[in-house]
Amino acid sequence: MSKTIKFSLCSVLIILCSSFLVLKNKTLIFDYPEYWPKPHYDFSKLSMSENEFQLGRQLFYDPILSKDQSISCASCHLQATGFTHVDHDLSHGIEGRIGRRNSMALMNLAWNTSFMWDGGVNHIELQALAPISSKNEMDSSLKEVVDKLNTSRKYKSLFYNSYQDSLVTGQKTLLALTQFIVMLNSYNSKYDKFIRNEDIDIFTQQEKNGLIIFKKNCASCHTEPLFTNNEFHNNGLKLDPYIKDYGRMQITNNPEDSLKFKVPTLRNIQFTPPYMHDGRFETLKAVITHYSSGISHSTTLSERLKNNLDLTHKEKVDLLVFLRTLTDTDFLFNNRFSYPYIN
């Protein structure tokens, strides 16, 4: 892959290399295309070791994180669907309790400047706390999880392999989960291959038209190459009177943030329905209809969406076809990210 730069952490390595125990550790390479911006995340607390990655992967797929050992991160974040949950509009937690929001797709998280639909979580390392302690999700606490892990021989040894210390702490648990989720990078879609000129003929005329329509109407928020500008906007969804979710305003207490939500990435969008924070749209066709003629006007509606887009039928189809080029099967079927069958 000629257009990909390799990025790894050397300062951590120096310490690790002095001990031969960890020579077995393959150092992780954090890959991304060279024309992408630098990641927002500062990797300095991670060891970037294969062992820490595998520990994080075990934790991500292990229901031990929930109160009654029934739900893992993967219950709501499935790899084949871009690490989100596709059957439900609102996510389901332990005992079938229903949350208030649609699960989010997980990818390219090192570039996120905040997390969750309302940006309430300010750092990737802290994200896991939210589902672990939410009543409707895993209904546990980090303390409870740490206590459980400290009685598990399997985890004591995995923590020892990662940190040369078998004592499980809250910080290490969060860092290991981060080491796994931060590696979930997607940059090999058809769109990426087109942008990198890897195959001149890869895009059909229809897909090229779709890209032009996208750049004109959507890219100001869903900005390339990550397909998000990390901002919060009101994109014209009517308030659901039952859920009454005001989004960003719940975090900032600022009425100007009412009904604003984080602009989500559109990578792998074909595989991540339903769409929006409450999963109100089942199909991409419904999303495009929303933007072209269904915008609900309220005081905080984004300027960019004040005028109906009024796309023709053909333009809508072209746009839809373009959105499908953001699917990255290398990512969706990468064995390194799948359920870990070991022991």
Chain contacts with ligand HEC (rule: CB under 6 A): 60, 65, 71, 73, 75-77, 91, 93, 99, 101, 103-106, 109, 112, 115-118, 127-128, 131-132, 137-138, 177, 181, 217-218, 220-222, 233, 235, 237, 261, 263-264, 266, 269, 272, 275-277, 287-288, 291, 302, 304-305, 319
Contacted entry of ligand HEC, another protein, none for residue 129, CB cut-off 5 to 8 Å set by kind: another protein
Residue 152 touches another protein, criterion: CB under 8 A: no
Rounded distance between C-alpha atoms, residue 47 and residue 306, angstroms: 47
**Least distance (Å) from ligand HEC to the CB of residue 88?**
9
Site for another protein in 103-122 (CB under 8 A): 116, 120-122
Rounded distance between C-alpha atoms, residue 212 and residue 318, angstroms: 9
**Least distance (Å) from another protein to the CB of residue 232?**
14
Binding mask 36-65 for another protein (x = CB under 8 A): ------x--x--------------------
Contacted entry of another protein, ligand HEC, none for residue 93, CB cut-off 5 to 8 Å set by kind: ligand HEC
Residue 141 touches another protein, criterion: CB under 8 A: yes
Which of 331, 332, 336, 335 lies closest to 32 in space, CA to CA?
A: 331
Q: Are 30 and 43 in contact (CB under 8 A)?
A: yes
**Least distance (Å) from another protein to the CB of residue 234?**
20
Rounded distance between C-alpha atoms, residue 80 and residue 56, angstroms: 19
Nearer to ligand HEC, 40 or 156 (CB): 40
**Least distance (Å) from another protein to the CB of residue 123?**
4
Residue 133 touches another protein, criterion: CB under 8 A: yes
Site for another protein in 217-246 (CB under 8 A): none
Quote the distance between the C-alpha of residue 170 and its chain's center: 22
Q: Are 73 and 131 in contact (CB under 8 A)?
A: yes
Which of 34, 39, 43 lies closest to 10 in space, CA to CA?
A: 43
Rounded distance between C-alpha atoms, residue 58 and residue 337, angstroms: 10
Which of 110, 134, 138 lies closest to 124 in space, CA to CA?
A: 110
Dihedral sign for Cα 241, 247, 250, 256, please: negative
Residue 130 touches another protein, criterion: CB under 8 A: yes
**Residue found by looking up tokens 């690790």 in the block:** 16
Nearer to another protein, 222 or 262 (CB): 262
Contacted entry of ligand HEC, another protein, none for residue 194, CB cut-off 5 to 8 Å set by kind: none
- What value, to the nearest 5°, has the Cα angle with vertex 267 and ends 333 and 59? 50
Q: Is the peptide bond before 264 cis (omega within 30 degrees of 0)?
A: no
**Least distance (Å) from ligand HEC to the CB of residue 117?**
3
Rounded distance between C-alpha atoms, residue 231 and residue 237, angstroms: 16
Residues 6+ positions from 5 with CB-CB distance below 8 Å: 31, 32, 33, 34
**Least distance (Å) from another protein to the CB of residue 217?**
33
Contacted entry of another protein, ligand HEC, none for residue 149, CB cut-off 5 to 8 Å set by kind: none
Nearer to another protein, 143 or 154 (CB): 143
Site for another protein in 170-199 (CB under 8 A): 170-171, 173-175, 178
Segment contacting another protein (CB under 8 A): 131-139, 225-233, 282-290, 306-314?
A: 131-139
Residue 139 touches another protein, criterion: CB under 8 A: no
Quote the distance between the C-alpha of residue 331 and its chain's center: 12
Which of 30, 26, 58, 34 lies closest to 182 in space, CA to CA?
A: 30
Residue ranges in contact with another protein by CB under 8 A: 42, 45, 116, 120-126, 129-130, 132-134, 141-143, 145-146, 169-171, 173-175, 178, 251, 253
